[in-house]
């Protein structure tokens, strides 16, 4: 099972060392803009249609102030603007790390 061995904020990136030996380097702005919470991504209405709400950012939005593990499957990130409702599953973080915007992974 995939797990985080180490996690650290390095400048404008979140660096994650995974239990399988890989590392992910995630840009903090990318993480904040990709927040998976309903307040950022929307939620289905009664007909199943997802309406994405307007999200605003400020100079503190892309600063990571805290992070907490969520069980053995995710991490909850709290940003400098006070936003902290997004729960980032390990698989979602790996996906973001593999994307060009995420900054990449290494072996």
Report the alpha-carbon distance of residue 37 to residue 16 in Å, rounded.
Answer: 21
Residues near 90 by beta carbon (within 8 Å), at least 6 away in sequence: 2, 3, 4, 18, 73, 74, 75
pLDDT per residue rounded down to tens, the chain (107 residues):
899 999 999 999 999 999 999 999 999 999 999 999 999 999 999 999 998 899 999 999 999 999 999 999 999 999 999 999 999 999 999 999 987 766 655 55
- Rg of the chain taking only CA atoms, in angstroms: 14
């Amino acid at each position: 099972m995939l797990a985080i061995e180490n996690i650290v904020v390095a400048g404008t990136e979140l660096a994650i060392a995974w239990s399988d030996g890989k590392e992910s380097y995630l840009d903090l702005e990318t993480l904040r803009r990709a927040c998976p919470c309903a307040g950022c991504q929307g939620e289905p209405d009664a007909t199943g249609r997802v309406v994405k709400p307007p999200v605003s950012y400020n100079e503190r939005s892309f600063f990571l102030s805290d992070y907490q593990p969520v069980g053995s499957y995710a991490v909850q990130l709290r940003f400098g603007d006070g936003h902290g409702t997004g729960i980032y599953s390990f698989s979602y973080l790996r996906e973001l790390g593999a994307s060009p915007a995420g900054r990449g992974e290494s072996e």
